[in-house]
């Protein structure tokens, strides 16, 4: 079965052949192209290719309908809607599919396409793409012009990754949010409708090309709103790019007639549906999306309700007192409610619950569940007795209530000599999730361990593996706080320490040894007063 079908609705598109040839040149996966000639044969003939299907309608059916007809021919896992005047990065298809998740709509980073230059055949002067020339800008020649194909991203292209919509849901770029987009997979409020990829299942399930909206216009807002409000995510993948040709010069013809009216009609449908929360498949409201990306220009000041956060702290009370005091004093500064569960009384630290149990994995699970059930917070951060947490750790807010989130920004510091190393890892001490999800998981975890005993096959960190012995089917994601947490490695750790990449079955892709931890400085100085 084909992995990706690229759907190209085309009407009056003079660069369709260039677009198809560029895709064939740069695709590296099991990818096909399905192009729909909507009421017009192209001026330039299309070469036959076994990865290209051409569908022709002698009477125009409209851009959305044409895209749907192309999608109906696909049996691929993923579909990508694409304008007929675009170029791509080498291997764009496999790069996108490698990072894709089923409830996402994904786009590559967008560049501007320099499609062609005009050249005066009399004097040789060239100028940037525009309408058919009537006079040379250099020698005033009034005939004999030649179009030279360039087909490369424009120099000094803006590299667009962030988009939004106005209060009437019209498309806008969102440079203010671009500064907040950290990493290579970044969220965007809306889309530029020239390119987007989704699973074929989601494409039909969410009706991403609703023909009742009209032939053309408002597609970026439609796709983004349907994805976000149904519980999915809209992301831009900066690991690859596409370049889109913009009609920036007067004289370019739009492929469909009356573009202004078509756009206006689509905007009215969009406003009626989403401003009034009428979309039947929505699980979230538009206000939620605006709050998520707030502040959004044109929307005014929207007060974002602060989620109720809390800490569940657990300890076996086997730790050196100097380390324990430093960790606890640090957590008090976070000004979050603390439910602490210990094996010895700790009445001075948060809402303390003392369990009379012996140290071990099952006891730890009981401690965690006890702390969860005692907490009244909606969002829980797990905190352990030998981790020094940075305040930026607690700024995180989980996107979804059915995902376990792990802060992978942690440095392990050996207390004997201050040796510090960082490699991305998901460990329970960096876990954050919604309380209800955590309670559900740990109740089931305790039942399993009490019935069958503890085994490494069930996994220690929720949601981090897919073995059949796993506790449940919930997934996990990682995040990176602005500054790292410090994991103090000492003689009493319950889990072993590994100080070389060779000690891992799968060697970490990132391994950083340092004596200058971001936000903390020299770990040897940091350890003074903790370890003598």
Rounded CA-CA distance 37/11 in Å is: 6
Integer Cα distance of 71 and 109 in angstroms: 23
Average of per-residue pLDDT across 340-367? 90
pLDDT at 465: 83
Note the pLDDT tens digit of each residue in 166-175. 998 999 999 9
Is 410 in contact with 487 (CB distance < 8 Å)?
Answer: yes
Please report where in the chains the tokens 């209530």 appear, as a residue: 401
Residue 62 CA to residue 296 CA, distance in Å, equals: 32
Closest CA to 380 of 439, 325, 331: 439
Give the DSSP H/E element, type plus range, for residue 286: helix 286-292
Structure tokens at 360: 């071990």
Q: Which of the 8 DSSP states describes residue 78?
A: E
pLDDT on residue 206: 96
Q: Which domains does the chain have, with CATH numbers?
A: 4-292 (3.90.550.10), 309-526 (3.90.550)
Residues 6+ apart with CB under 8 A from 415: 323, 488, 489, 490, 527, 530, 531
The DSSP annotation for 155-213 comes to TT---B--EEE-TT--EEE-HHHHTT--SSEEE-SS--TTEEEEEHHHHHHTTTT-GGG
Higher pLDDT, 194 or 508: 194
| 350 DSSP 8-state letter | S
Q: Is 253 exposed, middle or buried (0-12, 13-18, 19+ CB in 10 A)?
A: exposed
Burial grade of 15 (CB within 10 A; 0-12, 13-18, 19 or more): buried
Give the predicted TM-score (pTM) of the model. Answer: 0.61
Percent of the chain at pLDDT > 90 equals 54
- Predicted confidence at residue 242, as pLDDT, reads 97
Mean pLDDT in residue range 303-329: 82
Cα–Cα distance between 461 and 471 in angstroms, integer? Answer: 10
110 three-state secondary structure: strand
The mean-pLDDT minimum among 233-242, 269-278, 489-498 falls in 489-498
Q: Could you tell me how many residues make up the chain?
A: 532
For residue 302, is pLDDT > 60?
no
Predicted confidence at residue 253, as pLDDT, reads 59
The helix or strand, by DSSP H or E, that contains position 228, with its residue range, turns out to be helix 219-229
pLDDT at res. 155 = 85
Minimum mean pLDDT among 127-141, 296-310, 398-412, 497-511: which range? 296-310
In the predicted model, what is the mean pLDDT of the chain?
89
Q: How confident is the model at residue 531 (pLDDT cuts 50, 70, 90)?
A: low
**Residues 511-520, mean pLDDT to the nearest whole number:** 88
Q: What is the pLDDT of residue 501?
A: 81
Residue 301 has pLDDT above 80, yes or no: no
Name the residue with higher pLDDT: 52 or 179. 52
**Confidence band of 247 (pLDDT split at 50, 70, 90):** low
CA–CA distances in Å: residue 363 to residues 324, 367, 470, 482: 19, 6, 19, 33
Q: What percent of the chain has pLDDT over 70?
A: 94
Task: Please report which confidence band the pLDDT of residue 494 belongs to, taking 50, 70 and 90 as the band edges.
Answer: low
Dihedral Cα 98, 103, 105, 108, nearest 10 deg: -20
- The torsion angle over the Cα atoms of residues 227, 232, 238 and 243, rounded to 10 degrees, is -20
| Cα torsion angle, 223, 23, 66, 266, sign | positive
pLDDT at 252 over 60: no
In terms of pLDDT, which residue wins out, 496 or 246?
Answer: 246
3-state secondary structure of 428: helix
Question: What is the per-residue pLDDT across 364-417, written as a single tens digit (0 to 9) for each?
Answer: 999 999 999 999 999 999 999 889 999 999 999 898 889 999 999 999 998 888
Is residue 363 over pLDDT 90?
Answer: yes
When pLDDT is cut at 50, 70 and 90, the band that residue 251 belongs to is very low
- Arithmetic mean of pLDDT, 49-78: 95
What are the tokens at 489? 């490695």
Whether the CA torsion 60, 66, 72, 75 is positive or negative: it is positive
> What is the predicted pLDDT for the residue at 129?
85
CA angle 293, 294, 296 (to 5 degrees): 95
- Alpha-carbon distance of 112 to 153, in angstroms, equals 6
pLDDT of residue 128: 86
pLDDT for 30 equals 97
CA 128 – CA 147 distance, rounded (Å): 10
Residues 6+ apart with CB under 8 A from 380: 309, 310, 311, 312, 372, 432, 433, 434, 435, 438
pLDDT in tens, 419-443: 888 988 889 999 999 999 999 999 9
Of the chain, the end-to-end C-alpha distance in Å amounts to 64
């Amino acid at each position: 079965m084909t992995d990706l079908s690229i759907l190209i609705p085309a009407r009056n598109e003079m660069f369709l052949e260039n677009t198809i040839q560029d895709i064939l040149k740069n695709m590296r996966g099991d990818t096909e192209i399905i192009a729909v000639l909507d009421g017009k044969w192209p001026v330039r003939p299309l070469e036959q290719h076994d990865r290209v299907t051409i569908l022709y309608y002698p009477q125009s059916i409209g851009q959305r309908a044409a895209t749907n007809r192309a999608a109906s021919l696909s049996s691929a896992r993923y579909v990508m809607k694409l304008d007929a005047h675009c170029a791509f990065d080498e291997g764009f298809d496999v790069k996108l599919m490698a990072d894709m998740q089923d409830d996402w709509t994904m786009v590559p980073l967008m560049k501007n396409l320099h499609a062609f230059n005009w050249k005066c055949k009399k004097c040789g002067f060239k100028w940037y793409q525009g309408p058919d020339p009537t006079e040379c800008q250099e020698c005033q020649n009034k005939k004999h012009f030649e179009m030279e194909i360039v087909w490369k991203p424009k120099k000094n292209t803006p590299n667009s990754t962030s988009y939004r919509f106005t209060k009437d849901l019209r498309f806008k770029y969102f440079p203010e949010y671009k500064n907040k987009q950290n990493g290579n997979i970044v969220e965007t409020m809306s889309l530029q409708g020239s390119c987007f990829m989704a699973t074929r299942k989601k494409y039909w399930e969410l009706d991403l090309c609703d023909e009742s909206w009209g032939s053309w216009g408002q597609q970026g807002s439609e796709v983004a709103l349907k994805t976000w409000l149904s519980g999915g995510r809209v992301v831009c993948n900066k690991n690859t790019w596409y370049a889109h040709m913009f009609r920036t010069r007067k004289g370019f013809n739009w492929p469909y007639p009356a573009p202004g009216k078509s756009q206006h009609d689509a905007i009215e449908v969009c406003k009626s549906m989403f401003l009034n929360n009428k979309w039947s498949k929505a699980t979230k409201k538009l206000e939620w999306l605006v709050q998520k990306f707030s502040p959004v220009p044109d929307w005014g000041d929207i007060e974002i309700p602060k989620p109720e956060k809390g800490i569940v702290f657990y300890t076996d009370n086997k730790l050196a007192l100097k380390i324990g005091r430093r960790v606890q004093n640090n957590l008090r500064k976070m000004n979050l409610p603390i439910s602490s569960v210990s094996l010895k009384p700790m009445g001075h630290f948060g809402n303390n619950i003392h369990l009379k149990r012996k140290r071990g994995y099952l006891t730890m699970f009981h401690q965690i569940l006890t702390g969860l059930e005692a907490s009244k917070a909606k969002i829980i951060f797990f905190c352990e007795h030998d981790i020094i947490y940075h305040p930026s750790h607690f700024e995180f807010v989980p996107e979804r209530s059915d995902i376990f989130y792990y802060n992978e920004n942690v440095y392990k510091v050996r207390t004997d000599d201050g040796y510090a190393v960082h490699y991305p890892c998901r460990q329970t001490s960096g876990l954050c999730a919604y309380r209800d999800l955590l309670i559900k998981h740990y109740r089931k975890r305790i039942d399993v361990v009490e019935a069958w005993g503890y085994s490494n096959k069930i996994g220690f960190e929720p949601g981090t593996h897919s073995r059949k012995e796993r506790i449940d089917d919930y997934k996990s994601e990682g995040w990176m706080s602005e500054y790292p947490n410090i994991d103090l490695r000492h003689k009493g750790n319950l889990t072993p320490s590994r100080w070389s990449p060779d000690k891992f079955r799968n060697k970490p892709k990132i391994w950083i040894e340092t004596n200058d931890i971001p936000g903390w400085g020299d770990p040897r100085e940091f350890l003074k007063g903790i370890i003598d």
